[in-house]
Amino acid sequence: MKKVFAIVLSIIMTMSVMLGCSNDKKETPPASQQTKTVQSAETVSNQQSAANQKNEKIKVKDKQEKKQYGQQQGANQSQPAPDSTAKVAVEKGKAYTDKDHVAAYIHVYKTLPPNYITKGQANKLGWKTKGTLDKVAPGKSIGGDRFGNYEKILPDKPGRTWKECDIDYVRGNRNAKRICFSNDGLIYYSGSHYRDFERLY
């Protein structure tokens, strides 16, 4: 009886050992599968690292662009806005008689071109006695005298004064074209001897 019990016990133990070993084999993956798993984990880790680096680069680039934009905005704010540019190019000290260039000259240099003289200056040269301006002052035009603006056709406010000048005068009698300009930068043109005006600046 003891022998039978010993045999049965040894059979049970042998079978349990065999079953345990077979379970271990099933649970332990082969080496190649383990390698693949490790490689997959490393690949995922590398991809995450690359993505993080890319995100960091994008953040740095965004910061740099924002900084540059801020610097540009600051520069724009620190510089005073220039006057609106003249519609045509003019050169200081050069003579002009047409509407566009005379207006641009006044706008840029705050004075008339040098070919303009006042009525008083022309009279001293004999303008009233000799007739037309070109006879006493060739190449000159009348300009720089006060314009009263008595009819208030032009904008009026306390402290604002106006001056006038002839436009397109070359020789002979003066025509009806005038520019009127104020001491605070307004410039108007009239082609009808002050009946109506067009703002130029």
Helix (H, G, I), strand (E, B) or coil at 165: strand
Catalytic (active site) residue 107? no
Query: 80, exposed or middle or buried, with CB in 10 Å at 0-12, 13-18, 19+?
Result: exposed
Identify the helix (H) or strand (E) that includes residue 20.
helix 2-27
- Rounded Cα distance, 191 and 195, in Å: 8
Catalytic (active site) residue 164? yes
Among residues 56, 65, 91, 193, the one annotated as catalytic is 193
Long-range interactions of 133-137: CB distance < 8 A, separation 24+: 133/169, 133/174, 134/170, 134/171, 134/172
- Residues taking part in catalysis: 164, 193
